Amino acid sequence: MLSLKGIAAAIALTCLTATTTTANTGSNGQVLLIGRDNGGSVVEYAQRVARARNQQTLVAFNGPCASACTLFLSLSPSQTCIAPGASFHFHRAFGARSDMNKWGTDYLVKRYPAWVRQWISQQGGLSSRLKRMDYSYAAQYLRPCRTA
């Protein structure tokens, strides 16, 4: 289990607010709490994930993480943990020209770990339809967050 001092209070706060927040806890510096994150630009999330990777920020999934937010799953397993109530929502990229949407979708898929790509494939691939991966499935691959 990943030891994250004080994460219980931060999780409770994050579950009440629709944000992704950073709390200064844990022995390695910052912990990024992901909850009720609806995603956004693939490019912006790629930058956020790169910063988290480079700074060795711990990422705790404790609520819904949708769309481009799921890029955080590309982090090393040692940088992530999952709390009950977390879920992941996937769809293909949209909102730009068709060539950019294809690039965004390809970018997402190539960066996901094998277990995520396999799950997406079992669901028929990414499409405009939202596909939800629940906590019970993801918890088989992500370490549990320690809240005490």
- pLDDT at res. 28: 53
- pLDDT at res. 2: 38
- pLDDT at res. 147: 63
- pLDDT at res. 97: 82
- pLDDT at res. 1: 42
- pLDDT at res. 95: 77
Contact status, residue 45 vs residue 39, Cβ threshold 8 Å: yes
- State if pTM tops 0.75: yes
Contact status, residue 140 vs residue 89, Cβ threshold 8 Å: no
Distance CA 26, CA 6 (A): 8
List phi, psi (to 5°) of 82: -130, 140
- pLDDT at res. 17: 29
Reduced to 3 states (helix: H, G, I; strand: E, B; else coil), residue 1 is: coil
Contact status, residue 82 vs residue 142, Cβ threshold 8 Å: yes
Contact status, residue 23 vs residue 30, Cβ threshold 8 Å: yes
Q: Which domains does the chain have, with CATH numbers?
A: 2-146 (3.90.226)
Q: What is the CA radius of gyration of the chain?
A: 15
Eight-class DSSP state of 89: E
Q: What are the helix (H) ranges across the chain?
A: 7-16, 42-54, 98-111, 114-122, 135-138
Please give the average pLDDT of every successive group of 10 residues along the chain, which has 148 residues.
Answer: 37 32 48 92 94 95 96 96 96 85 92 97 94 97 84
Residue of 5, 25, 147, 28 lying closest to 86 (CA atoms): 147
- pLDDT at res. 19: 35
Distance CA 134, CA 140 (A): 11
